[in-house]
Structure formats: structure tokens, C-alpha cells
Structure 1
Amino acid sequence: MEKGVIFVRVSKREQDYQRQIEDLRAVAQTQSLQVVAEIAEKVSGAKYNQERDGLQELLTMARKREINKVLVQEVSRLGRSTVEVLNVLEELTKLQISVYVQNFGIETLKSGRRNPIAQFMFTLLAEFARLERETLRERILSGMDEARRKGKHLGRPDGSSEDKEAFLKKYPTVVRNLRLGISARKTAKICDTSINTVRKVKDYIS
């Protein structure tokens, strides 16, 4: 029998996640899935994935090969942005762990292989992620131009520098991948981080 995790999340504004759990319990029963854990989060939608204890618990179980499947009500439960969702789905897929998304009614894996429909979903998510990055970049550049027009100083105050430890804390996934022996270029792609940033992290931890 396959082992799975029910994973639910609500924002701090929402009241309860019990309905999500009950719906996914019914799915697990239909699929004859042995639920080994129910992970429920009540966190702000602004939190990054590395700051979410529940999601990190899920990923730890996945990396230890303790589960075969994850049940979620919506794919958005896996990240605050398209990029974060895509990274989680990619990691779970590489670990041969299927994700069942209830509102789409699809699983990411079929007989150990990527579901073509799920692959199409990945492609859409990747495109949305690209658009998100471009939109963010345009906003940043626009804001910088506006600041320059107003005569504001950009960047850190003169003479200041970011502490090495503080810098590494900003990129825990990059640090982990590099320590696992994954190349800098591949790490940059997986973590959606610039190659220069990854190389800087690598210099700090080597």
C-alpha cells in the first residue's frame, strides 16, 4: 500500500483547515492510500517556503523516502509564488513522489512516469514563473529610475557590507544543493537564482 501525506494550508485570515483535511481524507480512502501524516499550516501567504515549518517537514519526509504521494487541495498550497510551487513540484517529481491536486483532479506521476497533463501544467507554471520574474524586474528597474530622478542614493550605505552568515541564510536551498554536489549552473536553474549569486554562495561555503 502506498504511503501518503495530506498537506493543507490556510492563511492567518482564514478560520479553519478542517474541511480541507476531511476532503483529502476521502480522496485517500478512495485511492487506498495509507495516510502517515497530516500536515496543516496556518501561515501568512507572504512567507517564503524556507520559512514554512509545515512545508519543510513535508520535504524532509520526501527526501527520507518515507512517502509515495502528497495530497493537496490546490497547487498554490505548495508556495507563495509560481516559482516556489514549480521548485517543490520538480523536487518531488525527481524523488518519484506523486502529487495529487484535488481541484485539478490530476496526479503528477502515473506508474512512476510524468503524467502528460501534469507535464503541461509544469510548462504553464514555468511560463507564469518567467512572466513573474520579468514583471518583477520591470518594477524594480522602474522604481530605481524613479529614485534616481528624485536624487536618492541606491544600494547599501557607503562603507557597509553584508555579513557572510546573513547572506547564506538568504539562500538555504542553494547551500544545500551545492553541498550535495549539484553543479552551480544546475543549482541556479533549480533554485531560480542567478549564476553569480550561486557562485558567491559556493565561494563562501568552500
Structure 2
Amino acid sequence: MENFPAIPVALFARVSTNRQDAQRQIDDLQAYADRQGYRVVATELEAISGATKTTKRPHLQALLAAGAAGTIQKVLVTEISRLGRNTLEVLQVLERFTEVGVSVYVANYNLETLTAGRSPAAKKKNPMAQLMFTMLAEFARLERETLVERTISGMQAAKRKGKHIGRPRGSTKTKDQLLKEYPGVVRDLREGLSLRKIAKIREVSVDTVQKVKKLLAV
């Protein structure tokens, strides 16, 4: 019986801030890799928002480069939201890995994007996984939008009660400081997106988007 070398894989974990601990993600993925007899050749940890563009996520880019170079054949993640929060971004990431023959395994659903195969040419898209990932990514996006809407609603309710929301009074930023702090909002405004949509995408209040819009008009 022919013996194949252990499949080289990478572990990928993401948290939104440096204050969060991703060790459990790493431990769970390492345990799975050990059970499968995989050879872990890379571990990438991102402390960044999943809403960040793929091109601005160096750890994810490193895995894509490793896949293109043939260094890894699989990427293991605990859940699909680790890849991103935006539906389109998640699907683009999955497609990028598929293009270089790297299968993405999502632990909590026990699904892979590609069917079994020892080489990129021998692998094919897993239709069931593709359908499931599309649905899950959309659900994750809707949940995130709901959270943003609840946050905005809570802030508006607090304002109606006379509570001060935001920075302490007297700490107003200059025009340049504010525009530099919200470059994504600036880009979205210039692309013609609505104020409410921008607020949802960038996780800021509509008032903040309105303030940036006014500054751009000056």
C-alpha cells in the first residue's frame, strides 16, 4: 500500500482586538490536525476586524501566498466568520484559496470547500460546502447588521433621554483628524453609498457619517 506524506496545513485564527484571546481557536484546530494526521506548517493569528478588506489583512495574504507556492494544501478555521464578516469578502477569500488548490476546512460545520485530493489538479469544489458557506456568510452578515442597528437605536434612545453620547465635550477633532480617522467612510461617501448603509458597513453612527459628509463638502 502506497504511503503518502502528511498533508501540510495551516491554522488560521482571528479576533477583533488585541484584548481578545485566540488560543482556544488555535488549540481546537491543532487537536483536529493531530487527529487527522496533518502536518501543521503555519499558524496565522489576526487581531483585526473581519470587515477589513482582504488586501489589508497580512496574515490572510500570507496564507494565500503559501497556497500559491504549494506550501500548504489546507487551511483550518474554527468558523466561517473568522474569514470575514462581509458576505462578498468571505466568498472572495474562499474563491482565492480554491484558485490555488487550497481547501478551507471550517471546524464547527465539519465542511471543506474542496473534495479530497493529493494535488490541486485532483481536487474539485464541494457543492454542498459551497452552498452552505454562502448561506452561513449571509446569516453572519445579517446578524452583524442587526447588532449595528441595535447599537445605533440604543444611542438614539440615550440621546432622547438627554445623555451625552460620544467624545467628552470640548474634545472636538479637526477636519483633517476626523477624515483620517474614517477613511472608509470617506471612500464610501465618494462612491455614492447611502448614509445608513455606510453606517452599517463601517460600524459607526449615522451622525458620524453625516459629519464626515459635511466636512467633505467644505
Alignment-derived partner of residue 114 in structure 2: 109
- Pick one of 131, 142, 149 that aligns with 1:120: 131
Which one has the largest radius of gyration? 2
Q: 1:113 to 1:86 in 2, by over 3 A?
A: same
Alignment-derived partner of residue 39 in structure 2: 34
2-structure distance, mates of 1:141, 1:7: 34
1:49–1:80 CA contact under 8 A, matched in 2: no
1:67 aligns with 2:78: no
- Pick one of 49, 61, 81 that aligns with 1:56: 61
Q: 1:46 to 1:85 in 2, by over 3 A?
A: closer
2-structure distance, mates of 1:54, 1:86: 17
TM-score by length of 2: 0.57
Alignment-derived partner of residue 19 in structure 1: 24
Shift of 1:109: 1.1
Across the two proteins, how many residue pairs are aligned to each other?
150
Unpaired stretches in structure 1, ≥5 consecutive residues: 144-152, 159-206
Seq. identity, %: 47
Shift of 1:119: 2.3
After superposing the two structures, state which structure 1 stretch, 44-53 or 67-76, moved more: 44-53
1-structure distance, mates of 2:43, 2:138: 31
Q: Secondary structure at the match of 2:41?
A: strand
Q: Deviations over 1:165-195 (max 9, x none)?
A: xxxxxxxxxxxxxxxxxxxxxxxxxxxxxxx
Shift of 1:65: 1.8
Q: Deviations over 1:47-72 (max 9, x none)?
A: 22222121111111112221100000
What code does the residue aligned with 2:130 have? Q
What code does the residue aligned with 2:135 have? L
What code does the residue aligned with 1:77 have? R
Alignment-derived partner of residue 170 in structure 1: none
What code does the residue aligned with 1:66 have? T
Alignment-derived partner of residue 87 in structure 1: 92
Unpaired stretches in structure 2, ≥5 consecutive residues: 1-5, 117-122, 145-187, 198-212
2-structure distance, mates of 1:49, 1:80: 11
Q: Secondary structure at the match of 1:114?
A: coil
1:45–1:80 CA contact under 8 A, matched in 2: yes
2:13–2:22 CA contact under 8 A, matched in 1: yes
CA RMSD for the aligned pairs?
3.6
What code does the residue aligned with 1:5 have? A
Q: Deviations over 1:104-158 (max 9, x none)?
A: 11111112122231121254368779x99xxx99971878xxxxxxxxx99x669
1:3–1:68 CA contact under 8 A, matched in 2: yes
What code does the residue aligned with 2:194 have? I
Q: Secondary structure at the match of 2:109?
A: coil
Q: Secondary structure at the match of 1:56?
A: helix
Alignment-derived partner of residue 96 in structure 1: 101
2-structure distance, mates of 1:67, 1:21: 17
Shift of 1:92: 0.8
Equivalent residue runs for 1:167-182 within 5 Å: none
1-structure distance, mates of 2:195, 2:51: 22
